[in-house]
Amino acid sequence: MFIPQPNLIRHFARANGLLLLFFLICTTGVTKSQSNSGDLRLRVTDPSGAGVRTSISITSDANNFRETYATDDSGAATVKRLPYGIYSIDIRRDGFAPFAAAVEIRSAAPTDFTAKLSIQSASTSVEVKDSETLIDPYRTGSINRIGTDQIEERETPLPGRSLQDLINTQPGWIYEGNAVLHPRGSEYQTQIVVDGIPLQDNRSPSFGPEIEADDIDSLGLFTADFPAEYGRKMGGIVELNTTHDLGQGFHGKVVLSGGSFDTAGGFASGQYQRGKNTLGITADGDMTGHYLDPVVPQN
């Protein structure tokens, strides 16, 4: 009768364990997270292929997006976190003919686009665009977006409510007197995402520090058709994109506001960028003689 030795049993168990681990590694699938934005890598060249330093205007009417970016000495520029859609690219440079084209962002992977400028000649031309950016034919749900122009031209809000007042202008949101947002009538089910980082806590003025609207570049509001990258609070999602890099050196801005009830506010920000490093600081303050909302005797 054969009796297995302890060492033989241990070696056999170790070999089976290694085979099982190898099998799990080979058969386990990798699931990639779904995203609804991607990067656009641009390069502008002259007819010889050399880089051109210029300004690029990018527009999407469907996403309420209008921004201008500057290329470096090699003619390259990168635009971060562009929402999916169709974008119009317009380039104007002295000595070169105007350039216009459309590009689609459909993947979280960076999209490369090269614009080759031609030498300007004395001629008359008619520019015809084969597509517009107001309607995205690939979008299955409704996404409300607020761009830079609408943020800059908003009415002066009460202290601590600049972001909430902007969101309240869009359909699907109910606004309480103490600045609590109720998406689709659902209480405390708002999720705020800042540059891809979700904030699960209550961001109303009574419960947390204010997110200043002047520090926001654009907003995306979801009340349905949520991408798979979001979870937990699913009443409504507010996707915030902070202001993009302004270029090398020091940049800053100061915003002053005032209104009735002795309401006054101020916002100041400064940013210094050198190479890939950026140092920024912001400060804001508000004051008012108005306390919450007036009393309603019927309540």
Quick one: pLDDT band at residue 28, thresholds 50, 70, 90?
A: very low
- pLDDT tens track for 188-245: 788 888 888 888 777 777 777 778 787 788 888 888 778 777 877 778 888 888 876 5
CA distance to 69, 80, 229, 243, 245, per residue, from 274 (Å):
17, 18, 33, 17, 11
Quick one: pLDDT band at residue 32, thresholds 50, 70, 90?
A: very low
Contact partners, residue 286, CB within 8 Å, separation at least 6: 159, 160, 263, 264, 265, 266
Whether 275 shows a pLDDT value over 90: the answer reads no
Whether 4 shows a pLDDT value over 60: the answer reads no
Residues 254, 185 share a domain: no
- When pLDDT is averaged across residues 77-100 and rounded to a whole number, the result is 90
Residues 227, 261 share a domain: no
Whether 292 shows a pLDDT value over 80: the answer reads no
**6 occurs within a structural domain:** no
CA distance 72 to 51: 8
Count of domains observed in the chain:
3
Whether 139 shows a pLDDT value over 70: the answer reads yes
Cα dihedral 26, 28, 29, 30 sign: negative
Residues 267, 238 share a domain: no
Closest CA to 9 of 1, 17, 23: 17
pTM above threshold 0.85: no
Q: Check: CB of residue 168 under 8 Å from CB of residue 154.
A: no
Domain of residue 168 covers 144-242
Residues 182, 108 share a domain: no
CA distance 137 to 85: 9
Quick one: pLDDT band at residue 88, thresholds 50, 70, 90?
A: very high
- Which residue's structure tokens are 């996404």? 143
Whether 170 shows a pLDDT value over 80: the answer reads yes
Looking at residue 14, what is its pLDDT? Answer: 62
Contact partners, residue 161, CB within 8 Å, separation at least 6: 179, 205
- When pLDDT is averaged across residues 272-284 and rounded to a whole number, the result is 81
Residues 253, 232 share a domain: no
Q: Residue 175: give its domain's CATH number.
A: 2.170.130.10
Whether 286 shows a pLDDT value over 80: the answer reads yes
Specify the range with the lowest mean pLDDT, choosing from 158-162, 165-169, 265-269: 158-162
Looking at residue 162, what is its pLDDT? Answer: 82
3-class state of residue 58 by DSSP: strand
Looking at residue 299, what is its pLDDT? Answer: 57
Whether 9 shows a pLDDT value over 70: the answer reads no
Looking at residue 130, what is its pLDDT? Answer: 64
Contact partners, residue 49, CB within 8 Å, separation at least 6: 116
Residues 42, 111 share a domain: yes
Specify the range with the lowest mean pLDDT, choosing from 33-37, 40-44, 61-65, 222-226: 33-37
The number of residues making up the chain comes to 299
Looking at residue 114, what is its pLDDT? Answer: 93
Burial of 149 (0-12, 13-18, 19+ CB in 10 A): exposed
The structure tokens listed for 95 are 């000595």
**123 occurs within a structural domain:** no
CA distance 72 to 57: 15
Whether 55 shows a pLDDT value over 70: the answer reads yes
DSSP summary character for residue 51? B
Q: Where is 241: in which H helix or E strand?
A: strand 236-242
Residues 257, 225 share a domain: no
Residues 233, 148 share a domain: yes
CA distance 3 to 250: 80
Closest CA to 41 of 105, 103, 139, 113: 113
Q: 183 or 35: whose pLDDT is higher? A: 183
CA distance to 3, 9, 10, 18, 19, per residue, from 22 (Å):
30, 20, 18, 6, 5
Q: How many CB atoms are located within 10 Å of the residue 139 CB?
A: 15
